[in-house]
Amino acid sequence: MRIKPLYSCIMILSLLKGTPMVAQATTWLKFDPCFGASTLSGDSTYQLTPTDSIHITGCRFYISGIELLDRTGSLWKDPATAHLMNAFNEKTLSVLIPENIPYNRIKFNLGIDSTTNVSGALGGDLDPTKGMYWTWQSGYINFKLEGNSNRCKTRHNEFQFHLGGYQHPFNNLQTVFIEALPKQQVHIQIDIHQLINQIDLSQQHHIMSPGQEAMDFTEKIIHSLKIQK
């Protein structure tokens, strides 16, 4: 089994157009939030150093725009507008994709595109009652990470990172391409330990609106992704 960094396959905000094809979905695209070598759990406290610890209380994010591609373009597009992933709910972390299409790449977005953001009230995973929507001006929260750490000199030592934004110049949608073949079970690891190691929780512990800080943090998430086949 080979694990390699994903960010070398990333092309930000690129669109490929093609004709959707009807096919039976039997292969999994699976997202695996983890903390280093451990599955991410809301019941666990993780050591950052011998004296510093962290507890993750929530990790949710949107995956959208899933497509299967070959060198000519798009062969299949996911009919679902978006999928809300909850790190603590295993049932939400997998998406079925066709295996009988000769694709060699998979594309997906981390976040919600601008067209969907301005489409008014939506249902399903995009229902505002899911707690992943700010206002019509700010749109959807693409990625939400919350928890506590003794590094945070805040009330209850809490940190909150609510990342999103769809308006220029802070369109926070990230588009990812990975190499994959039909019938492969593709697992995308999101390593929260690697993400947290890229910041100083004593100085950066709250992002609650679109802006450059949110853009920079989201890029750190992308560099915390790995593909496992």
Contact 218, 141 (CB under 8 A): no
The tokens describing 103, both together, are 């694709």
Domain spans of the chain? Answer: 3-14+25-115+135-228
User: For residues 88 and 96, what is the distance between their CA atoms, to the nearest angstrom?
Assistant: 19
Cα-based distances in Å from 114 to 60, 108, 221: 19, 15, 20
Q: Amino acid identity, residue 39?
A: T
For the whole prediction, is pTM greater than 0.85?
Answer: yes
Kindly give the confidence (pLDDT) of every residue in the chain, 229 residues in length, as a single tens digit, with 9 standing for 90 and above. 444 444 434 433 333 334 344 445 467 899 999 999 999 999 999 999 999 999 999 999 999 999 999 999 999 999 999 999 999 999 999 999 998 999 999 999 999 999 999 997 799 999 999 999 999 889 999 999 999 999 999 999 999 999 999 999 999 999 999 999 998 889 999 999 999 999 999 999 999 999 999 999 999 999 999 988 6
